[in-house]
Chains A and B, each alone.
Chain A
Amino acid sequence: MDVLLDVHDLQTQFTTSGGVVRAVDGVSWDVRAGETVALVGESGCGKSVSALSVMRLVSAPAGRIVGGRILFKGRDLLALSDDEMRKVRGREIGMVFQEPMTSLNPVLTVGRQLTETMEIHLGMSSAQARARAGEILGLVGISDPERRLRQYPHQFSGGMRQRIMIAMALSCNPSLILADEPTTALDVTIQAQILELMKDLSRKLGAAMLMITHNLGVVARYADRVNVMYAGRIVERGTAREIYANPRHPYTLGLLRSVPRLDEPRKSRLDPISGQPPDLTRLPPGCAFAPRCAFVVERCRVERPELATVAEAHTAACWESARLDARVPA
């Protein structure tokens, strides 16, 4: 499969009164045509900033991309002019955000918001764009599109607004969709609808998807490959099946163990990860996870581990990774 998006050694920083926050600290990942890749992690791990960096939407002057390359179809997005970048955004890369109410314009009709992008990016006439907008609304499961196009965002429920966001993201046939916690604000039954819809449409239209989420269940259901982030770095990467069956970073293992599972017998106690995520302005010199890690050794506190291959198509950034291997008896 062709590599569609290739992020290499991306570094994004924010200057705050407390010091420089290295929100994304040298991460590399890629998305191949047609696949679904997940960036997983907890709040502050840098997953959303990674996506905003790809779209070059990190808010200046506090936020800055200070290093790395973002190759999309072979072109470095970081080297494009603002004008060229605008042609990529929305046209070639669609984006779905967590909060549909704040990402839609409250004073424009839904129809106007949908047709605007198509008129600008695809050079359609307003009649053509209108017809296409109606089609897309049907595609995302909104009935009576003619009437709905004349309505405003506040006249839609949360789930319906997220469908509109998806319709907007898909309107120009992008080859990649960035979905940042697309269903976190929604109820479980609506979450299931939206995720099925996104998966179905991206398959039908051949678009690849980068899914950003903290929900390990959502990742397990929809992602082909997974990148686990912690404190601005990727700590483990592999196919979804491999990562869940044989996690080789203590953080991934801890995350998987800390959530109660409906398909397993109820445990008398949950196994949380002790402690809290680190302050990104004062990262420890070694592994950022060391203070919370159950497998920590002396080396972890002084020397930072890089991603290393632990199995086929599976890498982990941990000195003690071999001790976690489920296939080798302890």
Chain B
Amino acid sequence: MSDATPSDAPILEVRDLVKHFHISSGAFGGQAAVVKAVDGVSFAIRRGETLGLVGESGCGKTTTGRCILQLEKPTAGQVIFEGRDLTTVSDAELRKVRRRLQVIFQDPYSSLNPRMTVGQIIAEPLAVHGLVRDRAARAKRVRELLGHAGLLPAMAHRYPHELSGGQRQRVGIARALAMEPALIVCDEPVSALDVSIQAQIINLLEELQAEFGLTYLFVAHDLSVVRHISDRVAVMYLGKIVEITDRKSLYENPQHPYTRALLSAVPIPDPAVEAGRERIVLGGEVPSPLNPPSGCVFHPRCPIAIDECRREIPTLRETRADHRVACIRA
């Protein structure tokens, strides 16, 4: 484990990622319809940094994460991790790469095997990948990993149902750490937790990043949490990235009307601030990805849409240094 500061070489590069799901419409099969869950997504993450991927349900952020992990096979595009395109490597090679590419799931209740003790859950991948072959050494390593995740060694003998939500998420983190990963995809890691526990887990993730030089892809819908943890942020809407830039630019100078609306929709925990706040309440709902709108997919809800927006698909273009926006009006 090396440097903890972001360096310029990307550890992960996603190029024109596409994931279409084919579903049959109607009870009798019928014509297949296509859900364009991820529709041409490109971004890069530098070693040691955290890229926040935000958006509302159905925007494709989780599918993007799963395509990177190769838990879903992308329809098209490349996922280049540490120099290798994961969409073309052999299965044997993929298994080796996976060790360096770990995941922490949203729901710590369903991502831990209820029949295994915490110790077994963490030790299993160590044995499977042959990282620690000796049993006693494995037990020692499990204790060490529990410590990294802020859990007492005695936790190794407990079962998942005996733990609180926060403790379970710590077990999930210890299991991911066991593989000595370079990059962790964190898929809504705190959204199922109570607020007082969320802060504990976020601090833990940041400490571990500094200690082990980890890179995070942080997938979440909570914009306040994403601002806290991310160095750079990408905003997704209906399968596409609509804005991507560094944290400061995104939160202080959002360019895309959707990003602005999202930020304005987050209530601030202070009535005095809330009383004087300008609000953009978007009309309508996120359209179905089965039948996305023409032109810019956001135009039916956009407060500044013009006629052209119905026809022209906006490309993600650089409006200022390291700030890309997919909007012809930005």
Contacts and interface: CB of A to CB of B under 8 A. Distances in A.
Interface in A215-237: 215-221, 223
Most chain-A Cβ atoms within 10 A of its Cβ — which of B56, B228, B262? Answer: B228
A312 interface: no
B166 to A, nearest CB: 6
Contacts of B266: 188, 217, 262
A217 B285 contact: no
A68 interface: no
A128 interface: no
Contacts of B228: 260, 266-267, 270
Given A42-B195, A272-B199, A266 B269 contact: no
A326 to B, nearest CB: 13
Interface stretch (A2-10, A239-247, A316-324): A239-247
B304 interface: no
Interface in A128-164: 157, 159-160
Interface stretch (A80-88, A119-127, A251-259): A251-259
Contact of A188 (B199, B227, B247, B265): B265
B57 interface: yes
A218 B198 CA distance: 17
B285 A190 contact: yes
Interface in A22-55: 42-43
A75 interface: no
B269 A192 contact: no
B3 interface: no
B203 A270 contact: yes
Nearest to A223: B271
A193 interface: yes
Interface in B244-283: 247, 251, 261-274, 279, 281-283
Given A258-B198, A262-B224, A244 B271 contact: yes
Given A259-B199, A272-B197, A187 B269 contact: no
B271 A240 contact: yes
Interface string A297-319: 00000000000000000000000
A261 B228 CA distance: 9
B318 interface: no
A182 to B, nearest CB: 13
B282 A189 contact: yes
Given A188-B56, A241-B271, A258-B199, 12 more contacts: A188-B221, A188-B223, A189-B262, A189-B265, A220-B273, A254-B196, A262-B251, A269-B203, A272-B200, A272-B203, A276-B164, A276-B167
Interface of A: 42-43, 157, 159-160, 187-193, 196, 214-221, 223, 240-241, 244-245, 254-256, 258-263, 266-267, 269-274, 276-277
In the A-B complex, the 5 residue pairs with the smallest Cβ-Cβ separation, listed nearest first, are A217-B267, A272-B199, A187-B56, A216-B269, A42-B194
11 contacts: A187-B57, A214-B194, A217-B269, A217-B274, A220-B268, A244-B270, A245-B272, A254-B196, A258-B198, A261-B269, A276-B167
